[in-house]
Amino acid sequence: MGYTPMIQQYLKIKAEYQDCFLFFRLGDFYELFFEDAQRAARELEITLTSRDGGSKDRIPMCGVPYHSAENYIKTLVERGYKVAICEQVEDPKTAKGVVKREVIQLITPGTVMEGTMLQDTENNYLASIHYVENDYFAFAYTDMSTGETSVMRITRGWNGVLSEIYNRPIKEVVVESGFNEAYIKELQDKMKITVSLVDASKLSTVPNSFLEEIEDKALRHTCMILYDYIHTTQKRTIEHLKNAQYIELNEYMLLDMFSKRNLEITSSFMRKEKYGSLLWVLDRTVTAMGARKLKKWLERPLLSKESIESRLEKTEGFYEDFMQRQEIREALQSIYDLERLTGRVAFGNVNARDLIQLKNSLQKIPIIKQLLMQFSKKEIQELSKQINPLPELLDLLERSIMDDPPVSITEGNIIKSGYNKELDTYRDASTNGKKWIANLEQKEREATNIRSLKIGFNKVFGYYIEITKANLHLVPEGRYERKQTLTNAERFITEELKEKETIILEAENNMIDLEYQLFLDIREQTKRFIPYVQNLASIISEIDVLQSFATVSEENDYVRPTFSNNDTLYLEESRHPVIEKVMDSQEFVPNTIEMDNKQPILLITGPNMSGKSTYMRQLALTVLMGQIGCFVPAKKAKLSIVDQIFTRIGAADDLVSGQSTFMVEMLEANNAISHATKNSLILFDELGRGTSTYDGMALAQAIIEHIHEHIGCKTIFSTHYHELTSLEKTLSRLKNIHVRAEKINGKVVFLHQVREGAADESYGIHVAELAGLPEDLIQRASIILERLENGSSKNDPPTETKADPKSVEQVDAEQLTFFVDNKENLPSSNQKESEIIKTISNLDILEMTPMQALNCLYELNKQAKKKG
């Protein structure tokens, strides 16, 4: 037995959308069948049932109500799934056989348009990747909800692509069939991104306007992939998509995924949330558009000194005129999300309330324009001149849409009286007809003397006169025509009542249909203004970010930085912008940071918890803040423009890829030294600690030497290898600094003050004591430390009362078994020291390079074998 025609129809449609949940419309429900039903029941926690589909076995089935489907779709999309919406496209009354159904839209993580599925302050990007050759990829991304599209060349290989994806809120990536399987797996498993495939040989035609600014063939191709996927999945107009904009990555500071994570720029490292990040500190924006633009600026700091100074001038303008800034903030609170409103207009899912939001926003624009002209800075006044209040669009919306319309656009009460004469006629007929009925009811009561007489209405019988049976004897003979008999009453009609009913009902039906058509026409007229509204949204969001910078700078006592032409960096009483905000009662200890061409490398030592990492991070965050156009947390700031920031701060095992802390350290270090230029900033925190002491020390020294000799960029290198501080003697452009700590009454006190020179000790045991380790353990560690510092390498007894402790000579002999093969060859306590011991004792390990140490060890090994 085969499947029923309806199930056959389902299977045929499902075959074209195998990677989607198919929401199959049946009446008032979306139904899912077979494997879709089983998976959806688990994901959505709804009941799994079954139905007869014509086959031997019953078919798994589940469903969700049509009116509440949006919430279920949202859940699936947020989890990375795609949903195909299959609707009836034929009137069931005229259908011959099974009602025709088609997929009218594909909702995917990267193509979401519904407001409830989007975060107001976050973009929602769909990206496309096209491999060109060698390490060159063409990369494009678009936000369907706002219409912005960007395209760029990535020439640092696949890791460069991953960094770009990590730095953007990209939810879905589109690639061509045949794209590298390992790359796809990494996107899905490591980056947790939905990947969709397209057939590059069947790309749809792309409007010339979309690509008019892109000449490069590979970049045009990846844009075509992106456009084709949107066009194919959405099955409707996407004219709100702006022209693809080429981004030259060399014009912006590069922040790779490691730096963005380690510096906690947009989210905290541990909690993965906004709180505790630089974005959290700087975000005093008022609009959703402004919040999104602030995040974009943070992710792409400027490199052009002219552009940076231009932003700083505007920030200073908002900073200086406090009263006007406050009025601007108040006005901005009435501005809705213009970017996403235009997207909804173009997409065809805008309702009357959305257009009222657009109208209310436009009403505030002239006020903002006027306020900007009151600022003293000409740069702020120039912003005012760029604003187009769009009076024609405002006039259209004010004349047409009621102030408090319903959500539905098919039930009437949307269009204002006076906008359309035909609609006014229908309304007049409906209103006057109802008045006539009310008057008729009063007249009939007086004529029959039946006070309970009433005129009612229902959809089956229309208007009727209802009289209770107790009063039927009062009805004059032949006055009414009997229509319906009830238990306690009779219903009647008259010819005159039926005529008015026809007029009223026709007017109401025509009125609703006409209002719907008028609304669609208003929406089409509004579409003409989309580019202008998008431009207005861009200016308003820029104003919002700049006032946010000014507000934050005033509240936190930031200072405007200057930019040097000679690579000098000087921060007087620099502070960490985030830590000082989260410290409640304690006062943040500021420190001065100074670097230049003569000594661009700072080697910082000091105890754990003393503030080395904070010192390093605050430098990077200050540089970044300055290059996005914000004031910085310092008493005085002179910066040099940094093209890239590389960091290695904190331990982070990459368990997904099976990489240890040390491997991650080496990968991040290699990324830095491979791509850094003279204008970069490198921050390495305790590099090399993930392996043995000598391995780590050797690598750390080699990396410092490489940066010193081959790169020469500004670098802060923190370490617990105190032996490295001797590098100051041999590397002319390296300077030692340390974080102060003092012992007071046997307890260590961290002063968080950075001073020149190397630290005298690490205070590791004191930190362990602060962490609450057992007292006997701390005492034992102190004893071992003292003996190690005195030059002893023997295995001390665990307690002072151990029986028959070994002599120093015996222990020394045991230690030397690492260098010789036979104890019989060891010298006795009465013999002269061997040549090997003399050689070892004469070594100055602190002055040796790793290579010298290795050569020395090799010679000792040869001597030991000869003695054996």
| Residues flagged as binding site for ATP | 606-613
In three state form, how does the secondary structure of 625-676 look?
Answer: HHHCCCCECCCEEEECCCCEEEEECCCCCECCCCECHHHHHHHHHHHHHHHC
Helix axes 391-400, 352-372, angle to 10 degrees: 140
User: Which of 352, 305, 387, 757 has its CA nearest to residue 516?
Assistant: 352
CB-CB contact of 526 with 393 (8 Å): yes
The length of the chain is: 868
d(CA 553, CA 567): 25
- In angstroms, rounded to a whole number, what is the distance separating the alpha carbons of residues 50 and 57? 10
Query: Residue written as tokens 């008057």?
Result: 439
3-state secondary structure of 584: coil
Q: How many CA atoms lie within 13 A of 704 on its CB side?
A: 36
What gap in Å lies between CA 354 and CA 183, rounded to an integer?
41
Alpha carbon separation from 297 to 6, 310, 625 (Å, rounded) = 52, 14, 10
Strand partners, 174: 128, 196
Residue 567 to residue 569: CA distance in whole angstroms: 6
Q: What whole-number distance in Å separates Cα of residue 715 and Cα of residue 595?
A: 9
Rounded to an integer, what distance in angstroms lies between the CA atom of residue 431 and that of residue 294? 52
Q: Return binding residues.
A: 606-613
Cα→Cα distances 151→107, 220, 246, Å: 23, 9, 5
Distances in Å between the Cα of 483 and the Cα atoms of 455, 466, 500 are 13, 10, 17
Q: Are strands 194-198 and 170-176 parallel, antiparallel or unpaired?
A: parallel
For 612, phi then psi, to 5°, come to -65, -50
Residue type, 853: A
**Coil, strand or helix at 758:** coil
**E strands, 429-523, in order:** 454-458, 462-468, 481-485, 489-493
Helix (H, G, I), strand (E, B) or coil at 461: coil
